[in-house]
Amino acid sequence: MKPGNKLRFETIIGRLSLVLLTGITLLGGFVKLTLYSREVALYQGVGFTDNNILTFGVFQSLGGIFLLFPKTRYWGASISTLSFAFSTFLAITHGYIDIALTLGVVVLVGSYVTYREINGTDQVQRF
């Protein structure tokens, strides 16, 4: 792969990762804020109250909103990754392995976006 193509490929993967993480984070926060029945059942099953779920939803929604803006993207990626890591931990400790595997993929994507933000590689490449 030519150096220019590699940079273009990394930019495309980075942008797709960012769009994916933003969408999943905003959707996850919205679902918690609306107290969707399946989400409530999952989190109440691990000991959360409605207020805990709403607080978690606000936290996750803020992460998604921060992801939308370049100046706050690092914080958004960090908050999103931490919230999904926490959900993954809860899912593992309560036997929801299928959910934990799915959330684990989101944690990996979030980690990648955070890494790109730390290293300043999220800038659009011009050729």
Structure confidence at residue 38 (pLDDT):
84
Kindly state the percentage of the chain with pLDDT values over 90.
66
120 pLDDT band (50/70/90 cuts)? Answer: confident
Structure confidence at residue 10 (pLDDT):
79
Query: What six digits make up the tokens of 111?
Result: 């980690």
- Residue 24 belongs to some domain of the structure: yes
- Residue 36 belongs to some domain of the structure: yes
Average pLDDT (68-88) is: 95
The range of the structural domain enclosing residue 94 comes to 3-118
- Residue 125 belongs to some domain of the structure: no
DSSP assignment of 98-112 equals HHHHHHHHHHHHHHH
Quick check: 121 pLDDT over 80? no
Structure confidence at residue 4 (pLDDT):
61
pTM of the complete model: 0.85
Number of domains in the chain: 1
Structure confidence at residue 125 (pLDDT):
45
42 φ, ψ to 5°? -65, -50
pLDDT tens for each residue of 24-70: 999 999 999 999 988 888 899 888 999 999 999 999 999 999 999 99
Mean pLDDT of the chain: 89
Structure confidence at residue 126 (pLDDT):
41
- Residue 126 belongs to some domain of the structure: no
Cα(115)–Cα(108) distance, integer angstroms: 10
- Residue 98 belongs to some domain of the structure: yes
Residue 75 carries which side chain, given as an amino acid letter?
A: W
- Residue 106 belongs to some domain of the structure: yes
